[in-house]
Amino acid sequence: MDSVLAQAPAFFSAGNIAFVLAALWRTIAMTAIGCSLGFVFGLGIAILRRSTIGWLAPARWLAALYVETFRRVPFLVILIMALFALQPVAPQLSLLAIATIAVTLVATAFLSETIRGGLDSVPRQQWEGAAALNFGAWHTLVRVMLPQAMRVILPPASAFVVMFVKDTSLASHLGVVELTFSGKILVNRGFSPVLGFGVILVLYFALSWPLSIAAARLEKRLAAPRHR
């Protein structure tokens, strides 16, 4: 304990703080960009898989294959696959960009299933009513389906994002200096693991806790519009 205290001033140097914050930023960027894009693409896949247009059948089949594959492969394997697949074709991509693409690939697969479940939960009467009132596909989706589906989509989707904040630590295997990797580097420089990883622990918590609270707030707002 004494050694930890003795190290503290050197540990919390401006340089180290900047180094850890930069790593924290990379963790946030991978999660936020990857999961946001994953939600958008996942929505696209969910809509595609629910469509009944005949000539889209091959696309539906491919989407199903994609979702079932990427939900079953460990994230680390997808990271490594993304690295080896992307580096030859796009050598200018940074490791952070490649890791973010890998997050997007996985988030798309998982969130598409969550969104599909949400859309399926909206009763048939809702979109038949919209159709009879001359709503087009876009208005039906945005004004009727999504607002009602979000109540079902949000809890598992936010749980997925909170979980994925932690899983982005696997990007350290590609050499992305994200939060976990930054702790490791500091410990390797001779700082106490209690100090190095203790700070990392606090930062992960500080990241996911407000996320959970924000999600819970949003859920409450969506789940009970009738009580407002």
Partner 1 sequence: MRHLDIADLHAGYGSQQILHGVSLSVDRGEVLSLIGPSGSGKSTLLRTLIGLTQPSAGTVSVGGEAVDYARKADLARLRDRMTIVFQQYNLFQNMTVLGNVTVTPVKIRKRPAAEVEARARALLDRVGMGDKCDAYPENLSGGQQQRVAIARALALDPEILLLDEVTSALDPERVGEVLAVIRELAGEGITMLIVSHEMAFVREVSTRVAMMDAGRVVEVGTPAQIFENPTEARTRDFTARIFRH
Q: Which residue among 62, 133, 163, 214 contacts partner 1 (CB under 8 A)?
A: 133
The yes or no reply on residue 203 touching partner 1 (CB under 8 A) is no
The yes or no reply on residue 148 touching partner 1 (CB under 8 A) is yes
The yes or no reply on residue 130 touching partner 1 (CB under 8 A) is yes
d(CA 158, CA 227) in angstroms, rounded, equals 23
Single out the residue of 190, 189, 166, 192 nearest to residue 179, CA to CA. Answer: 166
The yes or no reply on residue 52 touching partner 1 (CB under 8 A) is no
Neighbours of 142 (CB within 10 A): 11
Q: Which residue among 135, 184, 218, 219 contacts partner 1 (CB under 8 A)?
A: 135
Written as six digits, the tokens of 222 are: 């969506």
Single out the residue of 220, 215, 207 nearest to residue 30, CA to CA. Answer: 207
User: What minimum distance in Å lies between the beta carbon of 216 and partner 1?
Assistant: 20
Q: Which residue among 126, 155, 197, 219 contacts partner 1 (CB under 8 A)?
A: 126
User: What minimum distance in Å lies between the beta carbon of 9 and partner 1?
Assistant: 56
Contact 121, 149 (CB under 8 A): yes
The yes or no reply on residue 125 touching partner 1 (CB under 8 A) is yes
Contact 78, 103 (CB under 8 A): no
The yes or no reply on residue 134 touching partner 1 (CB under 8 A) is yes
Q: Could you tell me how many residues of this chain bind partner 1 (CB under 8 A)?
A: 17
The yes or no reply on residue 147 touching partner 1 (CB under 8 A) is yes
The yes or no reply on residue 139 touching partner 1 (CB under 8 A) is yes
Name the phi and psi angles at 53, rounded to 5.
Answer: -65, 130
Name 110's Cβ contacts closer than 8 Å, sequence gap at least 6: 38, 42, 71, 160
The yes or no reply on residue 189 touching partner 1 (CB under 8 A) is no
* Candidates 58-66, 137-145, 152-160, 196-204; binding stretch for partner 1 (CB under 8 A): 137-145
User: How far is Cα of residue 158 from the mean position of the Cα atoms in its chain?
Assistant: 9
The yes or no reply on residue 129 touching partner 1 (CB under 8 A) is yes
Name 199's Cβ contacts closer than 8 Å, sequence gap at least 6: 20, 183
The yes or no reply on residue 128 touching partner 1 (CB under 8 A) is yes
Q: Give the binding site for partner 1 (CB under 8 A).
A: 125-126, 128-135, 139, 143-144, 147-148, 225-226
